[in-house]
Every structure is written in C-alpha cells, then in structure tokens.
Amino acid sequence: MNELGRVVCKTCPRHCSLASGEIGFCRARRVVGSEVACANYGRITSLALDPIEKKPFAFFHPGSNILSIGSYGCNMRCPFCQNDSISQCGETDIAWRNFSPVEIADIAKSLVSSHRNIGLAYTYNEPLVGWEYVRDCARETKKRDLANVLVSNGCASENVIRAIAPLIDAANIDLKGASQEYYNWLGGDFESVCRTIKILHEFGCHVEITNLIVPGRNDKDEEIEAVADFLISVSDDIPLHITRFFPCWRMKNEQPTPIVDVYRLAEIARRRLKRVMVGNV
C-alpha cells in the first residue's frame, strides 16, 4: 500500500490503483487489507459440458467433451462481446454458486467415463481476472490426470501467465487485432497478448488462436497478414481460427461479417500458416 493508501493490482496491464475495499475495472478483484485479492474466487456463474471444438479447438483431442466453467468479470470492454451477460457483470449483477477447486475437479473426474470428458476448461468470462482460482483448480485437475484448457483474451501480466502456464495443457487465445490502435478500441494491451502467446508456447502448451473479423474494423488484407506474420514469429504450426462476427452487446445494430470476407482472409492467412480454419459461417 502506497502513501496515498492505495494498492496497485498487478494482474493485468491496467494496473488499477485501488483504495481499501475498492473493486477493480474487471469487477473481479478487490483490495482486502493491504493486498488485491480475487473477489470472484470459486464463484461459478456458468457450468456446462461442451464439445472441445466449441472452445474452439481443432487439434486438441477432437471429438471429446470438456467441462467448462466461468465466473463474472473481464478486464476488457469489447463492444462485440458474446458473453456480456457474465463478462460485464460484478458480484451483485448475476447469480453464482461457490465451488471449491476440489469440488469442481471431482465433478470433472466424474464425467470422464460417462461423457468422454477430458478435463476442465476456464472460459465464458475472462478467467485470468481470477487467475488464482484457475491455478488452484488446475492443480487439482492435474492430480486426477485430466487436462486443463484456458480460453482467454490473453491480456494479463507476465507473472500471471508464468504462474499458470506449467499447469495448462491447451489454450485458445483471442488475438483480436494486430495493433495497439485496434486494442485501444477494446480496452486491451496488444503487446501483453502477444507475450502471453509466446510464453504459453514456450512452456509447451498446445496453443490455438482465434481472430474475430469485425466489418470495417479489422477486415483488411494487411490486418490478417500482420496476425499471420506474428504467429509465424512464434511458430507457423499454430492453428488460426478466423471467425465471423454477429451483432452482439453494443454492436447489435451492425451487420454480420460477409461470409466471402471470412473465406478471403482465411486464404490470405493460408499463404503463411499451415493450419487455418473458418468459424461461424
């Protein structure tokens, strides 16, 4: 705590400066005593058994299912958010139920034989705003010989990614655009996302990338070329999912991405990358 009685949260690049009891921008972290704590720890708003392809993953245990959990809160404000009913909420805005890491890992284990469940996915809202719960659940999941899957915007501090990377088997990271200018529109940090992808790959995590194409925003040829060039700098074998935008949240009056644009951009990406898929078409 500094001389002004405030504490800086180091979970993501926002570095919220918070007074005692104050909630951060993400709505999921609060100052308790002299530290910033995970306020949404164990508070599950969404729990479902999903096909692994829904995350999306094309090359990680295809045909299997995964128990997916989410809480509330996010450190970005993408106007096209598809999960705004939980990601843009705080503790008083939505119903939640407490599950300990042991409880949630036991549920995942119980679904292995009957439902082809391979593990636990941290998804729906932004899981890394409550990274301590991800870490603790992942440890319990590992004890049960199950997989840990992260679906994230990747906008987190290096210390957070390095703390959980050894526990994560697969991650799908939203690389939403190819510049800080684009991320300014979304309230995120481009360099942090790139660093997250690099660190996860460095730790041997299976990484796939999703790039949502928003008409008039990131649908130019040079945009997808820049995304592909960055991925090549990490590995040309990283799968890229190019997906179609549909009107959501603050962009409900916009038009969906023309299907022809999704396929055009996918073809451009394939000139550089080995594995490019299209989605939502």
Could you give the percent of the chain with pLDDT greater than 90?
Answer: 98
Q: Is residue 53, in this structure, part of any structural domain at all?
A: yes
- Is the model's pLDDT at 1 over the cut of 90? no
Q: Is residue 152, in this structure, part of any structural domain at all?
A: yes
Tell me the pLDDT tens digit for each residue of 121-142. Answer: 999 999 999 999 999 999 999 9
Q: Is residue 134, in this structure, part of any structural domain at all?
A: yes
* pLDDT value of position 3: 55
- Is the model's pLDDT at 228 over the cut of 80? yes
* pLDDT value of position 2: 66
What's the structural domain count of the chain?
1
Greater model confidence, 181 or 5 = 181
* pLDDT value of position 5: 79
Residues in the chain: 281
> What's the domain range around 91?
40-279
Please compute the mean of the pLDDT values over residues 257-264 and round it to a whole number: 98
Please compute the mean of the pLDDT values over residues 54-58 and round it to a whole number: 98
Q: Is residue 19, in this structure, part of any structural domain at all?
A: no
Q: Is residue 22, in this structure, part of any structural domain at all?
A: no
CATH code for the domain of 121? 3.20.20.70
Q: Is residue 20, in this structure, part of any structural domain at all?
A: no
Tell me the pLDDT tens digit for each residue of 82-111. Answer: 999 999 999 999 999 999 999 999 999 999
Please compute the mean of the pLDDT values over residues 188-217 and round it to a whole number: 98
Q: Is residue 155, in this structure, part of any structural domain at all?
A: yes
Q: Is residue 29, in this structure, part of any structural domain at all?
A: no
